[in-house]
Structures are given as structure tokens and as C-alpha cells.
């Protein structure tokens, strides 16, 4: 059987933890930061786990992880 290709965009944005959960960084923290409060920027810098309902769509993008 041939090797499966991982999705390049998913490789850059997602990481699979040893427990099998998929982690990602939050969006909206790249530019226009002067208009955002410090509390909001702190919360945006957190790494979060992908919701259970999205896990089924994400896992096939990273077949060997």
C-alpha cells in the first residue's frame, strides 16, 4: 500500500499530543495588536485542544501522527 501524504498546512498548524488530542494556537494574534487589550492578547497566545466535533475532520490530515 502506498504512503499517505500529510496535509502541509495541517503539519504547520497542528500538533498531536501523546494522548491523541490535537493542539493548535489561537488565531487573531498576528497584526493589529495595538487595538487589542492585553488580557485578550494573553488569552490568544494560549495553546488549545481542538474540539471533539472537529477531531474527525483533522485526524485524516495527519495520518502518521
Q: Over the stretch 10-57, which tens digit does the pLDDT of each residue have?
A: 999 999 999 989 999 999 999 999 999 999 999 999 999 999 999 999
CA distance 38 to 41: 5
Contact 32, 25 (CB under 8 A): no
Q: What pLDDT is attached to residue 40?
A: 97
Report pTM.
0.78
Pick one of 3.40.50.720, 4.10.410.60, 1.10.10.60, 1.10.10.10 as the CATH number of 8-61: 4.10.410.60
* 4 DSSP 8-state letter: P
CA distance 20 to 23: 10
Q: What pLDDT is attached to residue 65?
A: 85
CA distance 65 to 61: 10
Q: For residue 37, what is its C-alpha cell?
A: 487589550
Amino acid at each position: 500500500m502506498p504512503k499517505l501524504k500529510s496535509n502541509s498546512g495541517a503539519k504547520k498548524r497542528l500538533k498531536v499530543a501523546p494522548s491523541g488530542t490535537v493542539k493548535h494556537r489561537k488565531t487573531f494574534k498576528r497584526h493589529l495588536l495595538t487595538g487589542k487589550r492585553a488580557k485578550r492578547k494573553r488569552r490568544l497566545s494560549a495553546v488549545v485542544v481542538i474540539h471533539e466535533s472537529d477531531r474527525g475532520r483533522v485526524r485524516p490530515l495527519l495520518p502518521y501522527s
